[in-house]
Chain A
Amino acid sequence: MTVLGDDITAFDQMRAELEAAHWNEWVLFHDGQFIGAFKDFETCAADAVEHFDLGPYLIRQVGAPPIQLPGGMVFTPAHALGSGRV
C-alpha cells in the first residue's frame, strides 16, 4: 500500500523544522528528499508535475488538520497516525 514511505519518513523527520519555517505552506518531497515549500497548492503542484511528472511525490500543507469528508468521514494523513500504520 505504501507508495510514499520514504517521503513521509523524510517529512516526519523534518516536521518541527517545517512547522517553524513553513507553517500553512505546501511542501513537496520526492525520493525521500525535501524539494521545496510553496505559498499555494497550485504552484506546488505545477512544480511537481513539471519536474517529476507522474511521481509519486508527497504534497502536504504544513499544519493542516485532517480532511472532513462527506457522511461524517475523516481522512487522516499517515503522519498523524504514527509510524508503521500505513
Chain B
Amino acid sequence: MAQAGFKKGKGAATAADLLVQLGPTLLVDLGLKSRATSGEPPDLPLKAARALIDTGASSDCIDDDLARSLRLPVTDEGEISGVGGKHLAFIYLARMWIPSLGRLLFQPFTGVRLSQGGQWHRVILGRSFLRQHRLTYDGDSGAVELL
C-alpha cells in the first residue's frame, strides 16, 4: 500500500490543509529504459518526480519540457482544447516506476505545460492509472492510501 497524502503539517498548515493545497501525491521514477541489471529494482533517469493523482483526468499527463529533456518518444499528436483555448500537443511514451507500489509500467502521457504554469507537480495520474487500484481519501486527516 502506498501513502499519497500527508502525515504532518507544515507551519500553520495541518496535514489536511496540505492535502487540500497540493492534492494526493505519489513519487515516481520516469524514463524510457531502465539501467538496472536483471533482478534489481528499475533504475530510470528521473527519480522521485511528484505525481498528482487526479480523478478528473481520464488518462495521464507529463510536463512537456520534462518529456523533451528525457527524450521520450512521441507516439501521437493532436490538439488540447479547454477554457484557455486550444493548442497543439504530443503524447509521449515513458516507463514509470512507483517504488511505494513496486509497480513498473509503460504509460502514454499527454504533454502539458505544468512547469510553465508554475505547477508543483511534474506528472498527473488519471483514471486509467487508477483502474487497477483502490484509492482512499480522508480529507479530515490528510491521509490518502492507494492499494
Contact = CB atoms under 8 A, between A and B. Distances in A.
B32 A4 contact: no
Nearest to B32: A49
Interface string B84-110: 100011110100000000000111101
A68 B58 contact: yes
Interface string B30-41: 001100000000
B76 to A, nearest CB: 6
A4 B78 contact: no
B22 to A, nearest CB: 14
Contacts, number: 109
Contacts of B108: 41, 45, 59
Interface residues of A, number: 35
B-side interface mostly: strand
B93 A49 contact: yes
Most chain A CB within a 10 A radius of its CB, from B76, B79, B90, B106: B76
B9 interface: no
Given A41-B108, A49-B33, A75-B89, A56 B75 contact: yes
Nearest to A26: B108
A56 B73 contact: yes
Given A73-B82, A75-B110, A59 B76 contact: yes
10 contacts: A45-B75, A58-B76, A70-B57, A70-B126, A73-B84, A74-B82, A76-B81, A81-B78, A86-B77, A86-B79
B83 interface: yes
A48 B73 contact: yes
A70 B56 contact: yes
Given A55-B73, A71-B83, 15 more contacts: A8-B77, A54-B71, A55-B93, A57-B75, A58-B75, A58-B76, A59-B91, A72-B83, A74-B82, A77-B77, A78-B78, A78-B79, A81-B78, A85-B79, A86-B79
Given A42-B106, A49-B93, A81 B61 contact: no
